[in-house]
């Protein structure tokens, strides 16, 4: 699990496995935080990217009030390429608020 952000007080934190098998889906939770506390009123879209060009990722997602700042994608991510890979999310309408998880993918 890892996270990063250009703005020190706002972060998207990933809860993801540190290892995965190529082609096998896995579960990820993304939590929005401000100053270390869950942002329970976030109402923004996030988009996903990966270092694995063949990755299967969720489509753009809008956090809602019901999420209370955290959403889980059960078996929603699949990395296809063995090696060290990353999955990242960025808040669509807020420059610099993002997070990343590093995953070691076995063949």
Contact 73, 14 (CB under 8 A): no
CA separation for the pair 16, 2 (Å, rounded): 9
CA distance 14 to 48: 12
Q: Using CA atoms, how far apart are residues 72 and 67, in angstroms rounded to an integer?
A: 9
User: Residue 5 — very low, low, confident or very high, per pLDDT cuts 50/70/90?
Assistant: very low
Nearest to 20, CA basis, from 76, 90, 89: 76
Give the end-to-end CA distance of the chain in Å, rounded to a whole number. 21
- To the nearest whole percent, how much of the chain has pLDDT over 90? 76
Structural domains in the chain, CATH included, are: 10-106 (2.60.40.10)
- Taking residues 20-36, what's their average pLDDT? 95
Look at residue 72 and tell me whether its pLDDT is greater than 90.
Answer: yes
């Amino acid at each position: 699990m890892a996270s990063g952000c250009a703005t020190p007080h706002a972060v998207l934190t990933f809860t993801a496995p540190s290892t995965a098998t190529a082609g096998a889906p896995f579960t990820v939770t993304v939590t929005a935080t401000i100053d270390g506390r869950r942002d329970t009123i976030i109402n923004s879209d996030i988009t996903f990217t990966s270092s694995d060009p063949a990755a299967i990722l969720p489509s753009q997602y809008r956090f809602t009030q019901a999420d209370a700042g955290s959403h889980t994608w059960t078996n929603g991510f699949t990395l296809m390429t063995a090696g060290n890979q990353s999955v990242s999310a960025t808040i669509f309408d807020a420059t610099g608020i993002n997070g990343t998880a590093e995953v070691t993918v076995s063949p």
